[in-house]
Structure 1
Amino acid sequence: MDFNFKKLVNDAGGLFNRARQLTEEKLLNAERTEIDPQLEQLLQRVDATEFHMTKLYSALETYLQPNPAVRVGNAINEMLERRNSTEQRVNNLEYLGSAMLGAGQAFGSDTNFGNSLLKMSTAEMKLGAAEREMMQTTSTQTLAPIKRFLEGDVRNILKERRVLQNKRLDLDSAKARLKRARSLESQASGADSGLIIEQVGIGVCLFICLCFVYFVSLFG
């Protein structure tokens, strides 16, 4: 119980120091450790890739089904159908073709109207089948890979970047506290500076190691 409480206090202290450091950087132009330019360039490419792939995914979804409410309904229906049945729902073109087929059979192929409806029903059914194939192909071969990329690789990269950013804030926060401690002339501050120097050393090592790991993961 004591260990968990101490960990909670340490975590809260770390969050406070990061928030203070970030605020000072934004408002007071406090010193900050710069990331390697090559790594920074890779991070910019990650941001650009995420932006454009997300935009492309949204555009493809809108093209396949412009109505967002219908998209949600279709997604729910597809989940229910996968659980309860192997039959596929007909699309609008197939539904129209089926209606034309029924009407054409009712009027008879020996009438001009009935014969026209039967011919149109065949065309509409073919168009419906082509639309279904196009939507299925786009969904499985384009949308699904993009979604896996965004929810897998990109999410992991962004998570690692947040860790790197936190370690950078920890390092710069320790540097700032060391600078403040050295500016004081009291005996107490002199005793504290030794611990802060140790924290700065640990922060430098962690930051460099994380930069290397992140750099390798981006290239990998």
Structure 2
Amino acid sequence: VSVASVTLCALSVQLLSEKISGAEGTKLEEDFLEMERKIEVTSKSVLDLLSKTTEYLQPNPASRAKLNMLNTMSKIRGQVKTTGYPQTEGLLGDCMLRYGQELGEDSLFGCALVDVGEAMRQMADVKDSLDINVKQNFIDPLQNLQDKDLKEITHHLKKLEGRRLDFDYKKKRQGKIPDEEIRQAVEKFDESKELAERSMFNFLENDVEQVNQLSALIKAALEYHQQSCEILQELSGKLQKRISSASSRPKRDFKPKSIRSSIEALDSNQHNGLSYSSSLKSTGTPSVCASVCVSQFVSIVALSPTVLLLLL
């Protein structure tokens, strides 16, 4: 039987003794236990922050899953360029641009749709920049913290617990085993305790690094909202100009065209190829209706970027 197998068996016996019979193991100092508690909470918070920050940047779980799959496939194929998350501002902007272009430049509402659509696309680009900024300056440093510093501390604590169990097992058998084995167990226990304690102390003393990372997150969010606000303010000015222009434009009178006059105007030799067209009745002038639509856009863009997204 190998030494490792014997040691593992001894540790299992000691652990079961403590769990089942309630035997007490060697107690560590309160300061040590408090540091251990803070490390555990920090580790949990980092894992949760990584998940929740990704959800904050990319709220649609279906789009997020699809994006991860596409980027994984790109890596497998050796493609450098990755697919970006479909920002909601960009999707809304594309919708507005499509219908604005279909309505044409002679439509006030169509021109306003194009204005807002282009602004939404700009906001989508700003949101992409936010994603990149937060990933580089917040998510990646936190991930590195989890993969290196916290992982190393966890390793030291697990090793300490194993040596503590070994020491308690041999201490209870004092007189039945050589004193040298107990002395070695004490030395290893002390060595592991010092390593774990030092690593936790250094980590907690330098937690200003995590504050710097939080500051980077807030700066990125602030920059995003400031740029979005500038885009919306410029857009609001454009729409106000369109409303003023529509208000000062002379109104056109509706002149109905009867089918009878259209038929009479046709050349007699084209009588067999007559085509009939109907005209819709209008209850108001086009410029007034379009002006109302643009006014509604102005009311929307006057809101903050966050409220605007919630309403849309």
- Structure 1 length normalisation: TM-score? 0.79
Alignment equivalent of 2:23, drawn from 30, 38, 58: 30
Q: Which position in structure 2 is the counterpart of 1:52?
A: 45
Q: Kindly tell me: are residues 35 and 213 of structure 1, through their superposed partners in 2, closer, same or farther at Cα, counting changes over 3 Å?
A: same
How far apart, in 1, do the equivalents of 2:29 and 2:38 lie?
A: 14
Q: Which position in structure 1 is the counterpart of 2:278?
A: none
Q: CA deviation at 1:214?
A: 1.9
Q: Which position in structure 1 is the counterpart of 2:192?
A: 210
How far apart, in 1, do the equivalents of 2:49 and 2:190 lie?
A: 35
How far apart, in 1, do the equivalents of 2:12 and 2:83 lie?
A: 53
Higher alpha-carbon Rg: 2
Question: 8 Å contact 1:17–1:173 — kept in the other structure?
Answer: yes
Structure 1 position 138 matched with structure 2 position 120: no
Q: CA deviation at 1:16?
A: 1.6
Give the superposed CA RMSD.
Answer: 2.3
Structure 1 letter corresponding to 2:107 = T
Structure 1 letter corresponding to 2:90 = E
Of the structure 1 ranges 128-137 and 159-168, higher mean CA displacement relative to structure 2 is found in 128-137
How far apart, in 2, do the equivalents of 1:165 and 1:19 lie?
A: 12
How far apart, in 2, do the equivalents of 1:207 and 1:217 lie?
A: 16
Question: 8 Å contact 1:25–1:31 — kept in the other structure?
Answer: yes
Alignment equivalent of 1:200, drawn from 182, 198, 201: 182
Question: 8 Å contact 1:105–1:114 — kept in the other structure?
Answer: yes
List gaps (5 residues or longer) in structure 2.
Answer: 203-312
SS in 2 for 1:86: coil
How far apart, in 2, do the equivalents of 1:198 and 1:148 lie?
A: 42
Alignment equivalent of 2:33, drawn from 23, 35, 40: 40
How far apart, in 2, do the equivalents of 1:117 and 1:200 lie?
A: 81
Q: Kindly tell me: are residues 35 and 69 of structure 1, through their superposed partners in 2, closer, same or farther at Cα, counting changes over 3 Å?
A: farther
Q: Which position in structure 2 is the counterpart of 1:127?
A: 123
List gaps (5 residues or longer) in structure 1.
Answer: 1-5, 183-192
How far apart, in 1, do the equivalents of 2:82 and 2:159 lie?
A: 47
How far apart, in 2, do the equivalents of 1:116 and 1:54 lie?
A: 45
Q: Which position in structure 2 is the counterpart of 1:62?
A: 55
How far apart, in 1, do the equivalents of 2:82 and 2:31 lie?
A: 53
Q: CA deviation at 1:153?
A: 0.9
Q: Deviations over 1:6-56 (max 9, x none)?
A: 5xx322222221111111112222241122332222111101211222222
Q: Indicate the percent of aligned positions where both proteins have the same amino acid.
A: 23
Structure 2 letter corresponding to 1:28 = S
Structure 1 position 169 matched with structure 2 position 165: yes
- Structure 2 length normalisation: TM-score? 0.58
How far apart, in 1, do the equivalents of 2:132 and 2:95 lie?
A: 24
Question: 8 Å contact 1:109–1:118 — kept in the other structure?
Answer: no
Structure 2 letter corresponding to 1:202 = Q
Question: 8 Å contact 2:67–2:83 — kept in the other structure?
Answer: no
Alignment equivalent of 1:117, drawn from 113, 117, 120: 113
SS in 1 for 2:6: helix
User: Higher helix proportion, which one?
Assistant: 1
Question: 8 Å contact 2:99–2:110 — kept in the other structure?
Answer: yes
